[in-house]
Structure 1
Amino acid sequence: MNSAVHMGSRLQGRRLRATRRQGGRRRGARLRGFARAAAAAIAAGALALAGTVAGSAPAGAANRQVYVALGDSMASGPLIPDITGPLACGRSTNNYAHVLAARLSVAEFRDVTCSGADSSDMTSPQDLSLAGVDMGQAPPQFDALSADTTLVTLTIGGNDVGLVGIAQDCATLNPFATPCKNTWTAGGVDRIAQRIDAFAPRLATVLAGIHARAPLARVVVTGYGLYIKPGGCWPYQPVLGVDADYLQSSVHRLNTTIAAQAAAHGADYVDVETPSVGHDACQAPSAKWVEGYVPTDLAAPLHPNRRGEANYGRLIGDRVLAG
């Protein structure tokens, strides 16, 4: 072999060895990179597995209470200070829902109660007005429900039946006036009772809708209070005794209907009528849980006052905490 060929051969060998060393370094770098990625993946997998073993929910999530309050003016507390939410909804920071939320120390609280609401306003926007002025709309109350809701309270039915309007029409300062009961029961047909009976399937639909939208929630339904004692107290409350009894018996019929529908559709019922004895509109201002035709406290006529809302919240809270 001549010297030129020999030198070329040596140069080619050096290049080959250098290429092998460079390739080895690249393969080593790739292997080390792969090892680091694999280690990271294994570590991440271990953390994920640990999280799965410990439970997928964040620490304390099992105790997280998400409370949604639904309902009408009995629940919203119109004219009771302080006002929150849409003005026309008459929603008070001292309504029973706020009392209950504070007592339970809930993690999240959504109060969408609104004066004038009926069962249709659970799924449809509610038209709002104040003193005849258009105040826009409130969203459907069911919009506040979600899969993480754990507690729902509901008070509904009074506006479906129209009880407050009927009671206002029954007011009279004439002791010789024809009882309004005669009008509502003419021909032997109790038309208020008919309205209450017609409300029952609507309430069933509302309860089914709550369960569908908040399947993990405990649902607590209230009735309505004792507004006037047996025989009334005319003229302090300007409604004849016979009409006072008729109106309160209609409230009681509504409460019985609400209780039956709650029992049939997986909800708890809280009776606020029985504990209200001695706290009706005929009582002294310091004892009343509801206001009469002319309020003596900051509250709407024929509605619970702050004292009443506080006691309703207490009664509901006792039921919730009792399990």
Structure 2
Amino acid sequence: MRVEHRSVWLRSGVAALVAAGLAGTGFLTAAPASASGPDYVALGDSMASGPLVPDVTGPIACGRSTRNYAHLLATRLAATQFKDVTCSGAATEHLTNPMDLSIGGVAAGTVPAQFDALTSGTTLVTLTMGGNDVGLVGVAQDCVKLNPFATPCKDKYTAGGVDQIGQRIEAFAPKIAAAVDGIRARSPHARVLVTGYGLYIKPGGCWPTQPWLAPDADYLQSKVDQLNQVISTQAAAHGAEYVDVAGPSVGHDACRSVSARWVEGIVSSHPAAPLHPNTQGEAAYADIIGNQIAGS
């Protein structure tokens, strides 16, 4: 889902933030904390930026939170330099090209290519990318069914024995490979960690709490899992580390209690965008990534 296809809920959410006067611009660079900390650059889409998770920083339309996993990780690692250029709606094309932003269909400026934040001195890079390239949020929204006797949307996406979303995901492989190669070329001394996406819904779903029929719930999560596998394979093949956040997410999907869930369902119960990590999820992802860094 590229920015021009941003869903209504995200447009209205960021518009509310604008109305509240929570505007900002540019990259956020943390003050030096320790000579031993990394020079850290965070790249990615809305899973990384944390839209509607308090508090906002940077361009409003990017939905970048001061409590996303990158900010929490930078604090934990005492980063000497920190640039968070994650942005809602970003796809791999926005790593190397500027991204036009909009709020409610109204132009809201442009942000530089995310790779512009990388330097030869960068020593740590995290990347979360892929969901917008294959349009997973749009598919999830399309699959909402309020009628328990409706035809599963899986039938549409797999008609004729052709898995349309699966094909999109396989076609994404060279894009994530090129992204990792691009990071390596610009920051040859950096440790590069590429995350997957979380567990969004348990097997069989939980209709009507989350309005996806059981076959569709399983299909949607299977596509997230397929995307994770492609990301993992390409990361390993191109000299980066894969960070699994789906495995540790078991028991924290959108079907769980408000206090237990790390991701929101179709209607948010936390200050976070629907179908995205909430504050608990971003904190959990920061811990998972931080523990992987510390364990090596």
Give the TM-score range, shorter chain.
Answer: 0.7 to 0.9
Q: Determine helix, strand or coil for the equivalent of 2:253.
A: coil
1:206 counterpart = 2:170: no
Aligned partner (choices 83, 96, 104) of residue 131 of structure 1: 104
Unaligned runs of 5+ in 2: 1-33
Partner of 1:105: 78
Query: 2 CA distance for matches of 1:307 and 1:278?
Result: 13
1:77 counterpart = 2:50: yes
1:233 counterpart = 2:206: yes
Partner of 1:221: 194
Query: 2 CA distance for matches of 1:205 and 1:258?
Result: 12
Partner of 2:125: 152
Query: 2 CA distance for matches of 1:259 and 1:109?
Result: 25
Partner of 1:121: 94
Aligned partner (choices 168, 172, 177) of residue 145 of structure 2: 172
1:197-251 Cα shifts (integer Å, max 9, x gaps)? 0000011111000000000000000000000000000000011110000000000
Q: Which has the larger radius of gyration?
A: 1
**Kept after mapping to 1: 8 A contact 2:37/2:78:** no
Task: Give the % identical residues.
Answer: 67
Using structure 1 for the length normalisation, give the TM-score: 0.81
Partner of 2:13: none
Aligned partner (choices 252, 274, 277) of residue 279 of structure 1: 252
Query: 2 CA distance for matches of 1:139 and 1:95?
Result: 20
**Kept after mapping to 1: 8 A contact 2:102/2:108:** yes
1:277-304 Cα shifts (integer Å, max 9, x gaps)? 0000000000000000000000000000
1:238-273 Cα shifts (integer Å, max 9, x gaps)? 111100000000000000000000100110111000
Q: Determine helix, strand or coil for the equivalent of 1:127.
A: strand
Query: 2 CA distance for matches of 1:207 and 1:213?
Result: 10
Partner of 1:197: 170
Runs of 4 or more above 6 Å deviation:
none
Residue 70 of structure 1: how far off its partner (Å) = 0.1
CA 288–64 in structure 1, closer or farther in 2 if over 3 Å, else same: closer
Residue 97 of structure 1: how far off its partner (Å) = 0.2
Q: Determine helix, strand or coil for the equivalent of 1:92.
A: coil
Q: Determine helix, strand or coil for the equivalent of 2:127.
A: strand
Query: 1 CA distance for matches of 2:281 and 2:176?
Result: 24
Residue 165 of structure 1: how far off its partner (Å) = 0.6
Residue 64 of structure 1: how far off its partner (Å) = 4.6
Moved more, 157-166 or 63-72: 63-72
Query: 2 CA distance for matches of 1:147 and 1:246?
Result: 42
**Kept after mapping to 1: 8 A contact 2:201/2:254:** yes
Supply the AA of the counterpart residue of 1:194: Q
Partner of 2:12: none
Using structure 2 for the length normalisation, give the TM-score: 0.88
Unaligned runs of 5+ in 1: 1-59
Supply the AA of the counterpart residue of 2:135: G
Residue 96 of structure 1: how far off its partner (Å) = 0.3
Partner of 2:161: 188
1:52-94 Cα shifts (integer Å, max 9, x gaps)? xxxxxxxx96x35100000000000000000000000000000
CA 64–316 in structure 1, closer or farther in 2 if over 3 Å, else same: closer
Q: Determine helix, strand or coil for the equivalent of 1:110.
A: strand
Query: 2 CA distance for matches of 1:130 and 1:163?
Result: 20
Query: 2 CA distance for matches of 1:218 and 1:275?
Result: 22
Q: Determine helix, strand or coil for the equivalent of 2:87.
A: coil
Residue 130 of structure 1: how far off its partner (Å) = 1.2
More helix by share: 1
Q: Determine helix, strand or coil for the equivalent of 1:91.
A: coil
Q: How many residues are treated as equivalent by the alignment?
A: 263
Query: 1 CA distance for matches of 2:243 and 2:87?
Result: 20
